[in-house]
Amino acid sequence: MTWFFEFISNPYLIIGISSWAVAQVVKTIIYWAVNKKLDIWRLFGDGGMPSGHSATVASVATTCAFFHGFGSFEFAISAILAIIVCHDASGVRQETGKQAVVIKEIATLIEKITDQKVSDEVKLKEFVGHTSLQVAVGALLGIVNAVILCNFIF
């Protein structure tokens, strides 16, 4: 049973998950404010402002820096992984979302021309990536969340 207590009291895990949760709640509120409709699935969805992925990895790297220092192996590994995740969120994943939009437009055009449904089976997600601003705001949110929790909770 010790492993379970260690698992649920792990500050890296708690801070990382809480940063993701805060980002997702903020993302849902922003979506609601901009689009004037509440989409509860934004709590679990990808893409949008701020980046939950960036918030998560930035908070874990910040927690490693807080507990082990900037010169530690733990910080180095978490910082490198955070850079990779943030770069991927604003690069490859953003392009995937743009491609989904174009593919949907092509499918709609084909349907209009041929009067046949292209496909109901594949639903492409357009919200998968982030702009650089969304990544930066997510990372900043994660850093702030980690600093607060490291200083006042752990």
Q: Are residues 26 and 67 in the same domain?
A: yes
**DSSP letter for each residue of 41-109:** GGGT-SSSSS-HHHHHHHHHHHHHHHHH-TTSHHHHHHHHHHHHHHHHHHTHHHHHHHHHHHHHHHHHH
Look up the pTM and report it: 0.79
Q: Are residues 31 and 15 in the same domain?
A: yes
Q: What is the DSSP letter of 153?
A: T
Q: Each residue's pLDDT tens digit in the chain (154 positions)?
A: 899 889 899 999 999 999 999 999 999 999 999 999 998 888 888 888 999 999 999 999 999 999 999 999 999 999 999 999 999 887 766 677 677 777 777 877 877 888 777 766 566 666 666 788 999 999 999 999 999 999 998 8
Separation between Cα atoms, residue 6 and residue 24, nearest integer Å: 26
Q: Are residues 86 and 65 in the same domain?
A: yes
Q: Are residues 102 and 55 in the same domain?
A: no
Total Cβ atoms within 10 A of residue 3: 7
Q: Are 59 and 65 in contact (CB under 8 A)?
A: no
Q: Are residues 55 and 106 in the same domain?
A: no
What does the pLDDT read at residue 101? 75
Q: Are residues 66 and 120 in the same domain?
A: no
Q: Are residues 58 and 26 in the same domain?
A: yes
Separation between Cα atoms, residue 99 and residue 88, nearest integer Å: 15
Q: Are residues 33 and 51 in the same domain?
A: yes
Q: Are residues 121 and 51 in the same domain?
A: no
Q: Into how many domains does the chain fold?
A: 2
Domain boundaries, position 47: 2-91+131-152
C-alpha separations of 11 from 22, 67, 129, 141, 151 in Å:
16, 10, 28, 17, 12
Q: If DSSP states are collapsed to H, E and C, what string results for 30-59?
A: HHHHHHCCCCHHHHCCCCCCCCHHHHHHHH
Q: Are residues 70 and 7 in the same domain?
A: yes
Q: Are residues 20 and 82 in the same domain?
A: yes
Q: Are residues 67 and 112 in the same domain?
A: no
